[in-house]
Amino acid sequence: MMLRLQNIILEMIAKGDPLADTAMRLCLEAEKLVPSAICSILTVDSAGIIHPLAGPSLPSNYSAALEGIKMGPTTGSCGTAAYLRSEVTVIDIETDSRWADYRHLALPIGLRACWSSPILDAAGEPVGTFAFYYRECRGPTEAEREIVRQCVHLCAIALDRERRMRVHRQRAFTDALSELPNRAAFNAALGALDCGTPGDWALFVIDLDNLKVVNDTFGHYAGDCLLKVAGQRIAAAVAPNPTFRIGGDEFAAVLQSADVLADLDGTAENILAALAEPAQCAGHMIIPRATIGGAALSPGDRVAERVRQNADFALYHAKETGRGGFVRYWPGLGTNITRRLGNIRDVDAALRDHRIDAYYQPVVRLDTREIVGLEALCRMRIGSRVVAAADFQEATNDVHVAMAMTARMMALVAADVRAWLDMGIPFQHVGINVSSADMHGGMLDRLLADAFKRENVPLEHVILEVTETVYMGEGDRLVQRAVEALRAKGLRVALDDFGTGYASLTHLLTVPVDIIKIDKSFVARLKPGDASMAIVEGLLQIAKKLDIRVIAEGVETEDQARQLGAAGCQLGQGYLYSKAVDRDATTALLLKHAQGIARPAPLQAGARRAIAHQ
């Protein structure tokens, strides 16, 4: 019968049955072997606190009364056995001093004696007790001692396995670096949240903005230190609400405290303020920088995953509109971002399928209507439709997509220019639009040089077009330095859409550009006496003194062309001359209207050089 008990319990341990179920079965099987005994198993934690584990034949209120008692020399039979690390036999509970504080629990339910044996771990520390209660005053028999020895051994095996599993679970749900709960713990916590009452909880997603810079500048040891410091500060700022590290540089906090929920903006400010203190990391003073997105449980949020998605939307928007702050989700934000992400997916697919193509709009001399240059414009083919870049502009907010589009456009333009040169067309220059992502990537000059070198096209045929928003964004010296470096290599730069972004006339004193393209919004309003006319005339005079060429965009009527010409503007582009067309149509336009197309070949190069330096 003892062998049967061992097999049953060992099989349950091997199968991974819950510890409480295994202990309960062990008690029941032991009571079958000793019908006069009532079996009890307690556990003892590292602080010496007792916790009932199994006692199927004991009243539940009796077991509950033992919860939280600390082991000691006068703590009944079990607490004393754990304290002394040796078995304790109390033949008469009513008279034994070790039961003085607990006999009122045992005697009313008929318990008269208790024999308890400690369960020790491999280091000899108490982890539990195994006890027989008796309804008469007596001690154990030799047969019972043998049974209990086997049961204690089985308990030790079961408790050791539980400890190992607990350590494994802790490791599985704990981030080793920050020592915070990890993504798995976060997912489990979300799954356990009640979504019944709006406003009951909220979620913050916090993204560190400067981890990559710290890793690249000071090394990964400093970056790891930054993560630890940031995690500790975030956790302290939202305590007792739990904080999780859910990704490389991303943390999350599940907020349920009433005071925190009442002021989410204030809580976010507290987190950002806590992070803003300098930290000593690997011998460097580093200030953690973060952006926060937040969302609260709202009506209609039937699952926690919806709130999580909303917080991610808010974080995405916060990072796009201004890092270092907090954005709280509002209805409609997800729709905007979903559309943007859809654009990114569409463009990414078009890039893979080679459905991104280059169209060209001519730049002409206003007086002769001769084509002196082109602007390359990105188009996406979807079936038989050709989609303009404005319809998928949001996709360029993604760095990878933006850089891939630029690489694709440069390759196409370089091949087209090579074809036009081979045809003997006196081709002058083509403008290629570049984005902030291209500038920040640090690879633009190499990308450009490689694309045009493959086609054996001199870079003198290329003009880089940069919008004001990209070029003169607040404090964005990185872009300006990148442009300066490109100009130092002989490339010309055009400032596109002038007058619609951050630009002012004072910028022309410090910003290195070769060409200014007046935005079409000014051209559309041209008429005598209008403020736009005064602005255009003033800009033309300033540009002439600074040796900067000017191109008027959006020229659609003869009146506009005439007024621009009268004001001294020499170059323009717009629907009056041609919309953006594919390479075949562009070739036809160049063959018919390119400046110098009818001149003898020896004069063409000289003409191109002269025009290039107008």
The answer to whether residue 249 is catalytic is yes
492, amino acid identity: R
| Angle of CA points 225, 230, 231, to nearest 5° | 100
12, amino acid identity: M
DSSP letter string over 597-612?
Answer: TTS-HHHHHHHHHHHH
Do the beta carbons of residue 297 and residue 283 sit within 8 Å? no
Tokens at residue 593, please? 């209207």
CA torsion angle 585 586 589 591 (round to 10): -110
Name the helix (H) or strand (E) containing 392: none
φ/ψ (deg, to 5) at 374: -135, 155
Classify residue 102 as left (phi > 0), alpha (psi -120 to 50) or beta: alpha
Query: 96, 175, 249, 519: which one is catalytic?
Result: 249
Total count of residues recorded for the chain: 614
Report the alpha-carbon distance of residue 120 to residue 86 in Å, rounded: 9
| Angle of CA points 585, 586, 589, to nearest 5° | 90
> Cβ neighbours of residue 596 under 8 Å, at least 6 residues apart?
370, 426, 603, 604, 607, 608, 611
Do the beta carbons of residue 319 and residue 291 sit within 8 Å? yes
DSSP letter (8 states) at residue 71: P
CA torsion angle 63 67 69 71 (round to 10): 70
Catalytically active residues are 249
